[in-house]
Amino acid sequence: MNAEPVFGPLTLNSFRPFGNNWKEDVDGPRVTQEDLAEIFYEVTLRTSRVAQWVRTCLPKEGDPKYIIDSSTGDKYLNHPIKMERIILGFCLVGTTLLSPFMLVCKAVSTVFHTVSFYHFRATRSFSLGLQKTGIEIVQTILYPVGLVGIAGASLYGQFFPRNGDKLTTSINRLFA
């Protein structure tokens, strides 16, 4: 499913964890055979049970490609609920296992950039270098907040998949 979802500006409704009204984009593009081929490779799946289970997690050909959150007007890929839970589960496990390592790498990178005056040398401007250094320090301080938010939204998404996907996407957009 190579088309990108369409998002408007971030608002408070982008972080609303409940009460969202989801509707299918019936006037928009449909899932095609090529979209399914991108996701599912029968050549690699020889076991029929595994192949059958994977097929139940995929969208059906002809289904609307997007769902629309009516509170914000944002379009999200129309994944089946099973697939949404699997994606959010990987996000939860990955964030939980890798966050200490990622946090150390981010802190070391920020300290190195600050001590070596990297931004000042790269921009050749004192004011712009100071601005970029300040932004990087603030991003490093807020980095754990984003990781905890993504992990929490992924856990919430195991119970409410559409809303969890919306929260993880909004948090990623906020901290990106």
Which pLDDT tens digit goes with each residue over 149-162? 999 999 999 999 99
Residue 112 phi/psi, 5-degree rounding, is -60, -45
If you average pLDDT over every residue of the chain, what do you get? 84
Residue 152 pLDDT? 94
Mean pLDDT of 158-173: 92
Residue 98, H or E segment: helix 81-115
> What b/e string do you get for 29-41 counting C-beta neighbours within 10 Å, with b at 16 or more?
ebbeeebeeeeee
Residue 154 pLDDT? 94
**Residue 43 pLDDT grade (very low, low, confident, very high; cuts 50, 70, 90):** very low
| Predicted confidence (pLDDT) at residue 55 exceeds the cutoff of 80 | no
Q: Bigger pLDDT: 131 or 54?
A: 131
Q: One-letter amino acid identity for 47?
A: T
Q: Where are the strands (E) in the chain, listed by range?
A: 22-24, 66-69, 75-77
Say what the pTM is: 0.76
| Predicted confidence (pLDDT) at residue 14 exceeds the cutoff of 90 | no
Q: Bigger pLDDT: 65 or 4?
A: 65
Of the CA atoms within 13 Å of residue 82, those in its CB half-sphere come to 8
| Predicted confidence (pLDDT) at residue 6 exceeds the cutoff of 90 | no
Residue 164 pLDDT? 92
